[in-house]
Chains A and B, each alone.
Chain A
Amino acid sequence: MNEYRDIEDFVKGRLEEGVSALPPHLAEIERAAAAESFARVAEHRSRRRRTTALLVAASLAIVFSFAILHIDPSPKPENTVACVIDLLRTADGAETLSESSAVVESGETTVAEMLLAWQDAPYESAIADLLGR
Chain B
Amino acid sequence: MLVEEDSELLFAYSRRGDVESLSTLVRRHAVWMQAFLRGLLPTVADAEDAFQETWVRVVKSAGKYRGGMVKPYLAVVARSAAIDRLRQMGRLVSLDAEDGEEASAAERLPDDSPSPGERFESKATVEDVREAVRVLPDGPRQVLLMRIEGELSFKEIASELGVPIGTALTWMRTATLKLKEMLGESK
**A→B interface (CB under 8 Å):** 1, 3-4, 6-8, 10-12, 14-26, 28-30, 32-34, 36-38, 40-41
Judge if B65 is at the interface, Cβ distance under 8 Å. Answer: no
Q: Closest B residue to A37 by CB, please name it.
A: B17
| Interface of B: prevailing SS | helix
Given contacts A21-B31, A32-B56, A37-B17, contact A15 B114 (CB under 8 A): no
- The A-contacting residues of B in range 19-35, CB under 8 angstroms, are 19, 22-23, 26-27, 30-32, 34-35
Q: Is B48 close to A, CB under 8 A?
A: yes
Asked if B180 is at the interface of the complex by the 8 Å CB criterion, the answer is yes
Q: Does B133 contact A (CB under 8 A)?
A: yes
A40 & B30 in contact (Cβ 8 Å cutoff): no
Cβ–Cβ contact A23 & B176, under 8 A: no
Q: Is the CB of B23 within 8 A of A32?
A: no
Chain A residues, Cβ within 8 Å of B147: 8
The smallest beta-carbon distance between A37 and chain B, in angstroms, is 3
Check if A30 sits within 8 Å of B23, measured CB to CB.
yes
Contact A32 to B39, CB < 8 A, known contacts A8-B176, A20-B34, A24-B34: no
User: 8 Å CB contacts to A: which residues of B73-126?
Assistant: 113-116, 118-122, 124-126
Of chain B, the residue at the smallest CB distance from A6 is: B120
In whole angstroms, how far apart are the Cα atoms of A4 and B120 in the complex? Answer: 9
- The 10 A-B pairs of least Cβ separation, nearest first, read A37-B17, A6-B120, A14-B129, A25-B52, A23-B30, A24-B48, A15-B35, A4-B176, A18-B126, A29-B55
Task: Classify chain B: how many residues form its interface, as a range.
Answer: 35 or more
Interface residues of B (CB under 8 A from A): 13, 17, 19, 22-23, 26-27, 30-32, 34-35, 38-39, 48-49, 51-52, 55-56, 59-60, 62-63, 113-116, 118-122, 124-130, 132-133, 144, 147-149, 172-173, 176, 179-180, 183
- B49 CB contacts on chain A under 8 angstroms: 25
Closest to A26 in B: B26
Nearest CB in chain B to that of A17: its residue: B126
Residues of A within 8 A of B34 (CB): 19-20, 23-24
A8-B114 contact, Cβ under 8 Å, with A19-B35, A29-B26, A40-B17:
no
Closest to B27 in A: A23
Give the chain A neighbours of B121 by CB distance below 8 A: 10
Which residues of chain A are within 8 angstroms of B176 by Cβ–Cβ distance?
A: 4, 7-8
- CB-CB under 8 A from B17, the residues of chain A are 37-38, 40-41
Let me know if A23 and B26 touch, CB within 8 A: yes
Residues of A within 8 A of B13 (CB): 33, 37
Measured between beta carbons, the chain B residues less than 8 angstroms from A14 are 124-126, 128-130
Q: Let me know if A36 and B120 touch, CB within 8 A.
A: no
Contact indicator B59/A3 (Cβ below 8 Å) = no
- CB within 8 Å for A11 and B30 given contacts A3-B116, A30-B22: no
